[in-house]
Structure 1
Amino acid sequence: MKKNYILINLLFFIAFTLNAQEVYFPPNGEWQEKQASNYHLDFNEAVEFAKKNEYSESRDLRQAILKGFQSEPYHKLLGPTKRRGGPAGVILKNGYIVAKWGDIERVDMTFSVTKSFLSTTALIAKQEDLIDSFDDKVENYLWDGTFDGPHNSKITWEHLLQQNSDWSGELWDSFDWADRPPQDQNIDQWRSRELHEPGTYFKYNDVRVNVLAYSLLNVFREPLPKILKKNIMDPIGASTTWRWYGYENSWTTIDGLKMQSVSGGGHSGGGMFISTKDMARFGLLFMKWKNEQLLSSELIHQAVQSSSANPDYGYMWWLNKDASMKNLGQDVFYAAGFGGNFIVVDQKNNLVIVIRWLEPSKFEEFLNLVYKNT
């Protein structure tokens, strides 16, 4: 009798533990909240820290962008901008909101967080067999001259996704060499720089990111915001308020229809304009959305593997593989954007953390407070 009692209690404990770890996925227009203390967690210190450490530059993002990239030759705003709000954020545990601050409904620019949305459209293209393999050369899919030449013809989809393609050229009146150039060189040196073998050299470069967006537009033959909405944002219950912009000159004609090629960030304006809540839903996607295979587990896994040129970068997700952030596990990955915008995904602890307008240098300190008692 005693053995049966112990067995029943053991089974109940296992069932309770498994149930406690199940991820809740909020339906459209709803989101259940729980106290962090239900999970023996306390995020009050982290929340107060985020509120007190707002991004220090102007809330007029037009001014902040022009100041932030003033060292780049020919830099100018080509896409829309929007005055930002104050610090905001949300922390999810098992899908439930357990902490929030600021206006999480407000739509703001999110800058290079957009890159993780862009790489997700590439995963969709692979899942729908529009791209056979990310090891394929992009010139096999795009023959308009974008990948012509002995160097650019070697570039694969994976090179573009990992930002190690070293693609060379001009797109939308922007030159690859003019994006974040070395400050100890002059324009002539930038123009005549030595090209690196694709796959061997990591360089954060928005022009090359926009080349990926343009290439995917040609593969889908539909605007990428439409692809993202149909395949991801609508199924995860996102609002109708988000927008994804390109530039005033990033228009092309496909199948007789004029389409805008979107940008992978707000470096020159444009990019993803989105609320904190919708960013959190997108983060939950990488916990595996319900039992629906919106994105296969294999593709999600592939997207967050280290690249040979930079172990801390996957398919436009930042990683922690070298444990530079000591208090975080190596399986944590995140999207990061200008002005202190972040989506952090922790699959091991079922945490999604969205931060808006945190002073970027305070990011690790904020996360240390979040993980203080996890």
Structure 2
Amino acid sequence: MSNPTEAFVPAPDGALWETVAPAKAGFDSERLKAAVAFAREQESPWPRSLYYPDGSYVGNVEWNERGPWTDIVGPVRERGGPAGLILKGGRIVAEWGDTARTDMTFSIAKSYLSVLTGIAFDDGLIRDVEEPVGKSVDDPAFAGPHNGQITWRHLLQQSSEWQGEIFGKSDQVDHNRQIGPGADNSRKGQRRELEQPGTFYEYNDVRVNVLGYALLQRFRRPLPDVLRERIMDPIGASQDWQWQGYSSSFVTIDGREVQSVPGGGHWGGGLFIGARDHARFGLLIGRKGEWNGRQILSRQWIERSLSPSPTLSNYGYLWWLAARPGLPSSSFSALGAGSNVIWVEPEQDIVAVLRWINGAQTDNFIDRLLAART
């Protein structure tokens, strides 16, 4: 075994993923054990079927969703139990639950869309994030006096104020939406007056799906294929993950039917993936796009992605940035309802993946993890 203090990357598909003892990785063993026990004990309150006994989908209940856009149009899969792992220097220092299980992951998919946008940028398919999307995507969705102003950056920072309907869902469904513990969604879905694109932040899944559609138009091939070829296979991810769209999200690209994929599981579908694959993904971003000596995604893109947005200081390009006292300023995360978390602290080369923890307890877990450092 090589020096446990050196950064390393795991072998492909989980094979021979080295572990390291907590003490050698700079953790107090008992405190780390307590942090893991906490994660296991604080299970998500969501039913494992993802449907409540009255037949209601968890998302519709979570976001107080009513009215004409509630239909579940993508696949839904029963979830597993609490699971996760912690990496230090690329090695596993702790692991619990079924980390290979390909569960739904909800809005963590948004951070994968961010990386796909980076590939398009690196390849020249997007010339400038400040350019209106309609300059390179000839589509009515990006035309007109309002939507024609929307840039790639606006979509990435959730400040686009895009207006319309795509795949049977209107942007209005997420007007007045709040997220996180204590969110008040009593007014969610009530139409409000739109602001100038780029001036107002709103967490809106329809507008993120518009980004996925725009990327499909630029790549001219299924986004899951691009992700597998350019990111997941090079970092040695499993072959088990899938990215599912909606029954309503098939579009014609160069004469063939292709499914556009969403940035979450709001109406079913989204990214079905295991915790170990998430950990590889987090490790790649924490190391500024480099994997085993190869630059897979440009440092420039990742640095832009992790820079504060003008409309929300703790949000980058579909990544959440450190936002409270006690967190390392360089840390960032991908977050999905349920709750699902990829938390990265690049300066210490730590990655933590959490599956199905009670979202109200995520910060408490991270505090415990940080307190376990020696």
1:27 equivalent to 2:11? Answer: yes
Q: 1:38 aligns with which of 8, 24, 38?
A: 24
The aligned counterpart of 1:66 is 60
The aligned counterpart of 2:182 is none
Provide, for residues 23-69 of structure 1, a one-character-per-residue CA deviation record: whole Å limited to 9, x for no partner: 21011132111111112303111100001100012011143233223
Q: Is the 8 A contact 1:66 1:76 kept in 2?
A: no
Return closer, same or farther for 1:186/1:127 CA change in 2, 3 Å cut-off: closer
The aligned counterpart of 1:282 is 281
The aligned counterpart of 2:98 is 103
Output aligned runs, 1:141-290, within 5 Å.
Answer: 141-179=136-174, 181=176, 190=191, 193-286=192-285, 287=287, 288-290=290-292
How far did residue 72 of structure 1 move? 3.6
Q: Is the 8 A contact 1:139 1:148 kept in 2?
A: yes
Q: Is the 8 A contact 1:340 1:358 kept in 2?
A: yes
The aligned counterpart of 1:112 is 107
How far did residue 307 of structure 1 move? 0.5
Q: 2:127 aligns with which of 120, 123, 132?
A: 132
Distance, in Å, in 2 between the alignment partners of 1:50 and 1:180 is: 33
Output aligned runs, 1:220-369, within 5 Å.
Answer: 220-286=219-285, 287=287, 288-320=290-322, 323-324=323-324, 326-369=325-368
How far did residue 373 of structure 1 move? 3.2
Which residue identity does 1:79 align to in structure 2?
Answer: G
TM-score by length of 2: 0.91
SS of equivalent to 2:218: helix
| Count of aligned pairs | 351
Provide, for residues 173-195 of structure 1, a one-character-per-residue CA deviation record: whole Å limited to 9, x for no partner: 101011254656597x61xx321
Provide, for residues 76-124 of structure 1, a one-character-per-residue CA deviation record: whole Å limited to 9, x for no partner: 2110010000000000000000001101111100000000011110000
SS of equivalent to 2:342: strand
SS of equivalent to 1:129: coil
User: Gaps spanning 5+ residues in structure 1: where?
Assistant: 1-15
Structure 1 residue ranges, 4+ long, deviating more than 4 angstroms after superposition: 182-187
User: Counting helix residues as a fraction of each chain, which structure ranks higher?
Assistant: 1
Return closer, same or farther for 1:144/1:194 CA change in 2, 3 Å cut-off: same
Distance, in Å, in 2 between the alignment partners of 1:253 and 1:50 is: 44
User: Gaps spanning 5+ residues in structure 2: where?
Assistant: 52-56, 178-184
Distance, in Å, in 1 between the alignment partners of 2:87 and 2:175 is: 35
Q: Is the 8 A contact 2:205 2:263 kept in 1?
A: yes
SS of equivalent to 1:36: coil
Q: 1:47 aligns with which of 4, 24, 36?
A: 36
SS of equivalent to 1:199: coil
Q: Is the 8 A contact 1:340 1:356 kept in 2?
A: yes
Root-mean-square deviation (CA), in Å?
1.6
Distance, in Å, in 2 between the alignment partners of 1:113 and 1:180 is: 21
Which residue identity does 2:336 align to in structure 1?
Answer: G
Q: Is the 8 A contact 2:174 2:188 kept in 1?
A: no
How far did residue 71 of structure 1 move? 2.9
Q: Is the 8 A contact 2:25 2:93 kept in 1?
A: no
The aligned counterpart of 1:7 is none
Q: Is the 8 A contact 1:72 1:179 kept in 2?
A: no
1:123 equivalent to 2:118? Answer: yes
Q: Which has the larger radius of gyration?
A: 1
How far did residue 21 of structure 1 move? 5.0
Q: Is the 8 A contact 1:344 1:353 kept in 2?
A: yes
